[in-house]
Amino acid sequence: MNTNFNILNIAKETLKAESDAITKAIEFLNDDFIKSVKAIFNTKGRLIITGIGKSAHIGQKIVATLNSTGTPSLFLHAAEAVHGDLGIITKDDTILCISKSGNSPEIKILVPLLKRDGNILIGMTGNASSFLGKNSDFIINAFVEKEADPNNLAPTTSTTVQLALGDALAVALIEMKKFTANDFAKFHPGGALGKKLLLRVKDILDKNNKPAVNTSSTIKEVIFEISNKRLGVTAVLEENEIKGIITDGDIRRMLEKTTELSTITAKDIMTKNPKTIDVNSKVEEALNIMESFQITQLVVTNNNIYAGIIHLHDILKEGIVS
């Protein structure tokens, strides 16, 4: 018996079963799904998602997805609801109840309580004829023929379909709300994604460390400025206008060609028309420029006036490079 072969086969069969169930769920989408999305979209309050068992875990994930994409949501555990937590529901809320069977004792007790104040109730269930199905205003059909486990007991296929339908709700609402990447970043300011979308060059620019020399500066003055500011580069200015840059690499290449330095000025070895970026640009844009031109520094401008230098290391420290 080839154990490794059997393990892989089981894994493939599980994924295939869950994939087929999601594909089948597409066929069950109907006007009730449309009405559910519209009801959530038009909700003045929040979407309250409730469930029990594994459906409760799925509900919590859907809540997290909706909150991060602009649909205020709260999770209400079906068992805790009847012990005081029903108080979180207001008359302006819409409710989504998730249950595979739609007939569990907790759901039968809870459903009438959810509807007593006239709230819209959406049922996500695999049994449209169940207690939940019959008492919901709209039904999102999450029917599956069987679970992926050999005993047809452990919630596997059913919870995968519930999760996928929750994502379908979220994405439909994203489209209806015209929710953008910048909107998404507002809810994720602390992570790498949020920084990519929100962080500006001015946020990480060291405004007090602006290496600069004149076009007529001597090589000694150039070397001193580069060493003193520790950025490996200096801007070359003429009457406050950016004329070029000199890197420590430029200095090394010059020394390989000549040791007669007395007559050489910054203008003689500078790179003209350096790549620049405005202080209000996204840091991600600065990174893209550096990668495109294989450079490690960018001259930063503010209304076309020299504002400083941003280095690749400044960006790396922010942790936004994937």
Higher per-residue pLDDT: 258 or 37? 37
> How much is the pLDDT for 47?
97
- Give the containing element (helix H, strand E) for 108: helix 105-115
Taking the domain 198-317, which CATH number applies? 3.10.580.10
Is 3-179 assigned to CATH 3.40.50.1820?
A: no
Average pLDDT over residues 9-25: 95
Q: What is the DSSP string of 246-299?
A: EEHHHHHHHHHH-S--TT-BHHHHPEES--EEETTSBHHHHHHHHHHHT-SEEE
> How much is the pLDDT for 191?
58
Domain ranges in the chain are: 3-179, 198-317
Average pLDDT over residues 192-213: 83
What global pTM score does this model have?
0.68
Hunting for tokens 């379908």 — which residue is that?
168
Hunting for tokens 């922010």 — which residue is that?
318
Strands (E), the chain: 47-51, 73-77, 94-99, 121-125, 138-141, 212-214, 233-238, 241-247, 271-272, 276-278, 297-302, 305-311
**Which pLDDT tens digit goes with each residue over 163-181?**
999 999 999 999 998 877 6
**221: pLDDT confidence band, cut at 50, 70 and 90?**
very high
> 77 a known binding residue?
yes
**Which pLDDT tens digit goes with each residue over 21-47?**
999 999 999 999 999 999 999 999 999
Distances (CA, A) of 285 to 31, 116, 288, 317, 321: 43, 53, 5, 16, 12
**Which pLDDT tens digit goes with each residue over 107-148?**
999 999 999 999 999 999 999 999 999 999 999 999 999 999
Q: What angle is formed at CA 320 by the lines to CA 315 and CA 322, rounded to 5 degrees?
A: 120
